[in-house]
Structure 1
Amino acid sequence: MIRFWGQSKFSVDPLKPVGCELFLREKIGDSWVLPDDFAQFPPQQIADLLLQTVPVLSKDLKNVSINLDPEQFIDPEFCAVLSEVKNQLLPVTLEVELTEHDSKFPVNSSEIQTAAKHFFEAGIDLIMDDVGSGSNQIDRTLLLNPYISEYKFAIQNFRKTRSLTSIIHSLSFWCELAAKNNKLFTVEGVESKTDLQLLINYRVNLLQGFGLARPVFLPIQAERSRRAVLPFTQK
């Protein structure tokens, strides 16, 4: 059994939930876990789960995003089925986040670029997830720039146990690149009021992190007894 868990994305001014990132989880025994192999779930199964899940979200949310690893991203069937369901999700907008994960088998730059072009032509917004981490370095980002609408910078990938001020150079670089290329800029991994206060000095469009809202289980239509709790209460 698979379900989505959801974590809200917040606008900066005012600070309120405006979107939701969906994380696929698999039930093993009594626990919901990160699947060992996402390839075991065909594109149509993911699309069907989207259609069952999005209606339980708060109507205040404007968009939802799902993560695709490079192998999924270059699979033409994913673009095809997501193109079919995106209009059924309206007025909620569907977005795709290309993860920074290293590929289990070789995926070349040409395949990534071609897939990005197809999503773009299908009217599906693309998000470069965790820029500066894993495979989503500057070369791939610039290659896909014509098709990307948003960069996401994951604080947690850089600072680990360090303070946010220790990664200012990396944060500034990606913030400036987003502004230069007219992309939305999201900072994820926001954990405290101190983080928020520091980020005021940067051109940040969206925020995400445990300090604002943690991921929560999302029922599907057949399971719900009430509307899911998104958007979340701020902490």
Structure 2
Amino acid sequence: MNTYTYFAQAIVNVATRKVEKYELLLRAWSPQTHEWYLPNSFDISVGMQTRMLKEALKDLEVKRVGINLTPEQFASRGVVQRLARFVAQTPELIELTVELTTAPTLTELSAMAPEYHQHGILIALDDVGSDIDDLDLAAQLAPNVDIFKFALQNLREQGHTDDLLGQMRPWAELAAQHDVQFTVEGVETYTDLQLARQAGATRAQGFFFNHPIAPREQKQRAFAQQISNLNDLI
């Protein structure tokens, strides 16, 4: 039986660079190498997800988080109900977002979005501009979506790095038209951050800020930085 946990990666305000939320990313434990790795399958139960969420929240300073759902999970009313109970029973949680790397159909989203939204759960379309690349479909989905996440890392892997700003702008404009928050992920350099800012992104995520790490380790690093800052003042 696999052992899973969540690693956390910061999503920051483009203007202030302050952490606004975290994406929680699934990792599995390898008994052979004694390290956490990115699993091939993300199809774990919602019960396991909420247990890992509870553990992660203990060590995250900012209690706004996003988790990934499979298309089957997103379309399941049982999953919505389980997440809704978790939100209701977890007062320390400020905001929960479910991220979708596969675009739902308009029928699915129209049916399910109100159920998520009535419990204060936000919906993000992840990997827009690459895995989700149909602007016309996205325009139809946008009224029921809260966040677009544009994936620079996918464009790099696909070799589509010409005119990144030009590739981002249509998605940023679509987000603005529908009052959808626009995040650029895969930000690895200061140049990437500048491109995100020029495109109109309000949030950014990527290795330029931090690599995904276990929330407990993140807490320990933050404490060590606080101590270092205090020592600098002495």
TM range (shorter): 0.7 to 0.9
- Say whether 1:51 aligns with 2:48: no
Distance (Å, rounded) in 2 between the aligned partners of 1:109 and 1:231: 45
Q: Which has the higher helix share?
A: 2
Secondary structure of 1:118's counterpart equals helix
> Quick check: 2:135–2:171 contact (8 Å CA) kept in 1?
no
Aligned to 1:42: 45
Q: Which runs of 5+ in 2 are unaligned?
A: 226-234
Task: Compute the displacement of 1:23 (Å).
Answer: 0.5
How is 1:208-227 mapped onto 2 (pairs within 5 angstroms)? 208-219=205-216, 227=219
Secondary structure of 1:97's counterpart equals strand
> RCO higher in 1 or 2 (8 Å CA, sep ≥ 6)?
1
Task: Compute the displacement of 1:57 (Å).
Answer: 0.7
Aligned to 2:195: 198
Task: Compute the displacement of 1:34 (Å).
Answer: 2.6
Deviations 1:56-109 (A, max 9, x none): 111xx25100011212211222211111111315352111111138xxxxx755
How has the CA–CA distance of structure 1 residues 202 and 232 changed in structure 2, closer, same or farther, with 3 Å as cutoff? farther
Aligned to 1:152: 149
**TM-score (normalised: structure 1):** 0.82
The number of equivalent residue pairs is 220
Q: Which runs of 5+ in 1 are unaligned?
A: 102-106
How has the CA–CA distance of structure 1 residues 14 and 78 changed in structure 2, closer, same or farther, with 3 Å as cutoff? same
Aligned to 1:72: 73
Task: Compute the displacement of 1:215 (Å).
Answer: 0.5
Matched-pair identity in %: 30
**TM-score (normalised: structure 2):** 0.82
Distance (Å, rounded) in 2 between the aligned partners of 1:210 and 1:81: 32
How has the CA–CA distance of structure 1 residues 126 and 112 changed in structure 2, closer, same or farther, with 3 Å as cutoff? same
The structure with the larger Rg is 2
Deviations 1:162-193 (A, max 9, x none): 69662222201101111111111100111111
Distance (Å, rounded) in 2 between the aligned partners of 1:228 and 1:6: 13
Task: Compute the displacement of 1:135 (Å).
Answer: 4.3
Distance (Å, rounded) in 1 between the aligned partners of 2:83 and 2:64: 14
Distance (Å, rounded) in 2 between the aligned partners of 1:133 and 1:89: 36
> Quick check: 1:185–1:206 contact (8 Å CA) kept in 2?
yes
Aligned to 1:182: 179
Greater CA deviation, 41-50 or 112-121?
A: 112-121
